Structure 1
Amino acid sequence: MSHSRASRSLVTRRSVLKGAAAGAAIVAAPAIVSPRVLASSGEVNAYAWGEYISEDMIATFKERTGIQINLSVYGTNNEVLSKVRAAKGEGFDLVFPSVTTLVSWFDASEEDGVDLLQPIDENRVMADQVQPAIWDKSLDLGASRRGQRFGVPFNWGTEAVAFDSTQRDLKYGDVSWSTIWQEENRDLVTVRPRSGLTAMGVMIDGTGEMMDRAHQDEETAKKVLDQALAFAVEHKPWIRTFWKDAQALTGAFLSDGCVIGQSWDGTAVNMWKETDGRIKYVAPTDGALTWLDTMCMPSGAANVDQAYELINWLTSAEGGGMHAVHAGYNSAAVGAEAALDAEAQERFKFMYGPNGEAISQLYWWKPEPGWFQKLRAEYITRYETA
């Protein structure tokens, strides 16, 4: 059966939160599983971000399919690419890279003469389980290569402003990227250098158009990054610590005394819960940085059938809902939001505005050609060592 379809408007969490409580039973009910899946068995080797797959998810998937997930975790996109590249596409059946980094996978394949990823057989993917506009948007953001799809949307999330609510009284509508760099925050800020420079570029023109242009050619990129770096270096005294993964980000706020900074939404939600609401998170009015992560199959995957079963379960309302509850990120699965409890819905309203106003102002990470990544890496080093 073909899963191609015309584009439809995205049903965002903003539009479904009102009915989430009423629909919670959707996820509570047993998943509808085909006889073929019930007869399945074996294992699948998944290499995912550290927060993505919980023990409960592993147990439920095995109960539904008979397949055991062997989970390995990583903390950066470079880490997963490097490991799969070193193994020449072997060792794992499913990986979860950010869609905008897939161009690096394709470039590495051409440089090494070894395909790192295999095309997705869309006839084996239950594409109707994925939010339609995200399914389509993923192609524009880098999930396709020469007319073939290589990534299935898994989740999306934002990087915005986290803060200690006992030290700062902030709410949506009053926060922009510049809020982080107010004088009162000197020596109290944490950012990820890579996304810090991007947020500064968005902040400087207030629209993100300048950062969009930076991805088009190297000369323009240098002009844009020069402006961002000048601001970054001027405000280096504001930085208490940099972070590059969820563990370091959590430590910045819970151990190192940071009061405000940039954060991934999932990590921020986990801190929010752990601190009983002391650490909060809110999208800036000039655009939260927004990413989309995908599920991809390495070329040397040994358990292809099982990998497709995992893809289809993670994009079901049950699998996507369990991920959203566990990780705090937004699943790309239709109906996953029904798993969110009332507290999660209230957090969402605080983070993105009472009516989800921030959704219309998201700044999506763009596909990054190799020359851009190398150039930005130079600017990151100059920022860190300034």
Structure 2
Amino acid sequence: MSDRISNRSASRRSVLKGGVAAGAALAMPAIISSKALASSGEINILMWSDYLPDTFIKTFQDGTGIKLNYTGVGSNEEIINKLKATKGRGFDICSPTNNRSLQWQPLELLQPFDMSKVEIDKVNPAMAKIGSTDWAFTDGAIYWVPHIWGTEGIAWRTDKFKPAGELPSYGDVWKDENAGKTMGRGHSMMLGAGLYMETIGELEPGSVWKAYKSIEDMTPIWTKITDWCIARKKNIKVLWNDADTQKNGLLNEGVIVGQTWDGPPLALKNSGEPVMYAAPVEGAMAWVDGMAIPSGAENIDQIYEFLKYAYNPEYAGEAIDHHGYNSPVNGADKFAGASYAKNFAEAYPGAALENLNPWPAEPQWYADARTEFVNKFTSA
């Protein structure tokens, strides 16, 4: 086993399995500073489209008197492009994913947190550490703190599809027997196809992760993945780009199995729909979405009031029932509904947590090259 694989396995255990362990006691209610209430009284947040349920927004606004202006997004590229266009102005908080630090650092579109105002001790330590390692852009400064974590795996209609084994496979999305009834997101669905190709001998084991080393390593691997996916493109019905597209595919577009985030299908499951989500046999892709402060943020005091609410176990736990993802806040799971623990156990049975695949840090050259491969696939 190479050093890379060993480190990746350790990361799975420390970051992700640690994230689901129960924390400690219930946090005290957020204390609202008079300075925040006396200032402009609003905060502008650029965040993934399903992360702030109405119940959380109402609790925050009623408790602080601060108006929350919420702009939803569906991809990291959208976050980056919006802030590049405004030169870091217009938003007080944005929500990049942990593995995008190499893309953000050279842009200089973020400012560091005043960590004396962040209750980081309320967060799973392994996830909090991501900010002080991958996102410590300048000495002693932290530009990212964790907010929500989850995975990308396989969702399906329980009334129309049944996995061949205990766990589904990324390959289920591409199989001829499911043709015209599957969905996925371009770049991650192709990566999932690569992991499946490794199991059937179409790629050497470890190829998908080797592709992150250099453009020379990536090109032949992703060329094979792209050609394989193009040959089976007719089997894909829906290419999704956000949470709502995933839900609509499962409910209204005839999709019986798809590669999705965990939150949307689990939210459907909670509402009584015949939908299931689970880590595939190849290992679910795991991520931690965080919070960062754009360089042109204006409502600074309100940012730290928002963080107090985001890191309150009761509020974070209640939000879990609406968005379907997981919270890094210690003890948040204790305030989720009864279905949360059941859903989590069914989504990650057996050794599924040990087999999670953390998204590797993604340099800009990799993202640019991958976009070219994805465009070739989608335009084929």
Q: CA deviation at 1:269?
A: 1.1
Deviations 1:100-122 (A, max 9, x none): 22332333x2xxxxx31101222
What is the distance in 2 between the residues matched to 1:299 and 1:364?
28
Would you say the 8 A contact 2:45–2:92 is kept in 1?
yes
Question: Which residue pairs with 2:372 in the alignment?
Answer: 378
What is the distance in 2 between the residues matched to 1:62 and 1:239?
42
Q: Which amino acid aligns with 2:218?
A: A
Q: Give the alignment partner of residue 315 of structure 1, picking from 305, 311, 329.
A: 311
CA distance change for structure 1 residues 124 and 277 in 2, over 3 Å: closer, same or farther? same
Would you say the 8 A contact 1:31–1:318 is kept in 2?
no
SS in 2 for 1:69: strand
Q: Which amino acid aligns with 2:355?
A: Q
Residue 53 of structure 2 corresponds to residue 54 of structure 1: yes
SS in 2 for 1:149: coil
What is the distance in 2 between the residues matched to 1:43 and 1:71?
11
Q: CA deviation at 1:179?
A: 3.0
CA distance change for structure 1 residues 174 and 350 in 2, over 3 Å: closer, same or farther? same
Q: Which amino acid aligns with 2:194?
A: G
CA distance change for structure 1 residues 225 and 129 in 2, over 3 Å: closer, same or farther? same
Would you say the 8 A contact 2:98–2:130 is kept in 1?
no
CA distance change for structure 1 residues 254 and 208 in 2, over 3 Å: closer, same or farther? farther
Matches within 5 A, 1:91-110: 91-107=90-106, 109=107
What is the distance in 1 between the residues matched to 2:79 and 2:157?
32
Deviations 1:101-149 (A, max 9, x none): 2332333x2xxxxx31101222221110110111124555x42324432
Q: Give the alignment partner of residue 171 of structure 2, picking from 168, 172, 178.
A: 178
CA distance change for structure 1 residues 9 and 370 in 2, over 3 Å: closer, same or farther? closer
Residue 348 of structure 2 corresponds to residue 337 of structure 1: no
Matches within 5 A, 1:46-125: 46-107=45-106, 109=107, 115-125=108-118
Q: CA deviation at 1:297?
A: 0.3
Residue 263 of structure 2 corresponds to residue 266 of structure 1: yes
Q: CA deviation at 1:267?
A: 0.8
Question: Which residue pairs with 1:145 in the alignment?
Answer: 137
Residue 368 of structure 2 corresponds to residue 368 of structure 1: no
Deviations 1:18-54 (A, max 9, x none): xx9xx9xx76xx84334x6366312221111110112
What is the distance in 2 between the residues matched to 1:314 and 1:327?
14
Q: Which amino acid aligns with 1:52?
A: Y
Residue 345 of structure 2 corresponds to residue 358 of structure 1: no
Deviations 1:73-98 (A, max 9, x none): 22222222211111111111111121
Q: Which amino acid aligns with 1:193?
A: G
Q: CA deviation at 1:367?
A: 1.8
Q: Which amino acid aligns with 2:53?
A: S
What is the distance in 2 between the residues matched to 1:323 and 1:38?
26
Deviations 1:338-360 (A, max 9, x none): 1222222211111111x5x3111
Give the TM-score normalised by the residue count of structure 2. 0.87
SS in 1 for 2:51: coil
What is the distance in 1 between the residues matched to 2:379 and 2:292?
35
Question: Which residue pairs with 1:303 in the alignment?
Answer: 299
Question: Which residue pairs with 2:4 in the alignment?
Answer: none
CA distance change for structure 1 residues 344 and 268 in 2, over 3 Å: closer, same or farther? same
What is the distance in 1 between the residues matched to 2:145 and 2:20?
23
Residue 243 of structure 2 corresponds to residue 237 of structure 1: no
Deviations 1:304-324 (A, max 9, x none): 111022123202212321322
Give the TM-score normalised by the residue count of structure 1. 0.86
What is the distance in 2 between the residues matched to 1:102 and 1:233?
31
Would you say the 8 A contact 2:174–2:232 is kept in 1?
yes
Q: Give the alignment partner of residue 280 of structure 1, picking from 261, 276, 280.
A: 276
Q: CA deviation at 1:302?
A: 0.7
CA distance change for structure 1 residues 318 and 210 in 2, over 3 Å: closer, same or farther? same
Would you say the 8 A contact 1:160–1:265 is kept in 2?
yes
Question: Which residue pairs with 1:112 in the alignment?
Answer: none
What is the distance in 2 between the residues matched to 1:317 and 1:14?
13
Question: Which residue pairs with 2:148 in the alignment?
Answer: 155
Q: Give the alignment partner of residue 247 of structure 2, picking from 245, 250, 255.
A: 250
What is the distance in 2 between the residues matched to 1:284 and 1:309?
39
Would you say the 8 A contact 1:45–1:94 is kept in 2?
yes
Would you say the 8 A contact 1:43–1:69 is kept in 2?
yes
Q: CA deviation at 1:14?
A: 5.2
SS in 2 for 1:281: strand
Would you say the 8 A contact 2:44–2:93 is kept in 1?
yes
SS in 1 for 2:354: helix
Q: CA deviation at 1:237?
A: 2.0
SS in 2 for 1:331: coil
| Residues matched between the structures, number | 360
Q: CA deviation at 1:151?
A: 0.6
What is the distance in 1 between the residues matched to 2:86 and 2:44?
14
Unaligned runs of 5+ in 2: 1-10
What is the distance in 1 between the residues matched to 2:361 and 2:315?
27
